[in-house]
Amino acid sequence: MKGCIERFLCSFFQVFGAYIEEINIVGSKVTGLVKYDDNSGEQYFLWNMPDIHLVEKGTEVLDCLFTGKLISGDKLTVSRIDLINNLIDHGWNESEVTETIDFLFRIRINMTDDGKETDCFFIHW
C-alpha cells in the first residue's frame, strides 16, 4: 500500500509543480518534503490520510487532469460535469467518478514550517 500512497502523492504534488524529496508513512500519518520543479524552494508537509480506498482511482484522475492540461496550479480549468462526462466516456461509472472527485476535493495536505501547520495544499474549481 505504501507504493500506492507514494504514487498518489507524486501525482498530487505534480499539479503544484513539485516532487517528493522524502516521505515517511506511519499508520495514517504521512510526512515528507517536496521541492519545486523551478528550484524556488521546498515545503514540508503532513497528511492525515482519510480512508485510502480511493487513492488508486484518485491517482488516475490526477494524472488525467495533468496530462490533459485540465488543471492550472491548484485550480481545475474544466467544469465538474465535463470532467464527469470525460471519465464516463473512458469507462468509469457515474458513482465511481463522483466518489473519486469528491475524495480529491476533500484532501487537505498541510504545509508545515518549523513543526507547525501553516497553509495547505488542495485542489479546487
**Reported pTM:** 0.93
Residue 51: pLDDT over 90: no
Instruction: Output the pLDDT for position 19.
Output: 98
Q: How far apart are the first and last CA of the chain?
A: 29
Residue spans per domain, the chain:
2-121
pLDDT digits (tens, 9 = 90+) for 22-49: 999 999 999 999 999 999 999 999 999 9
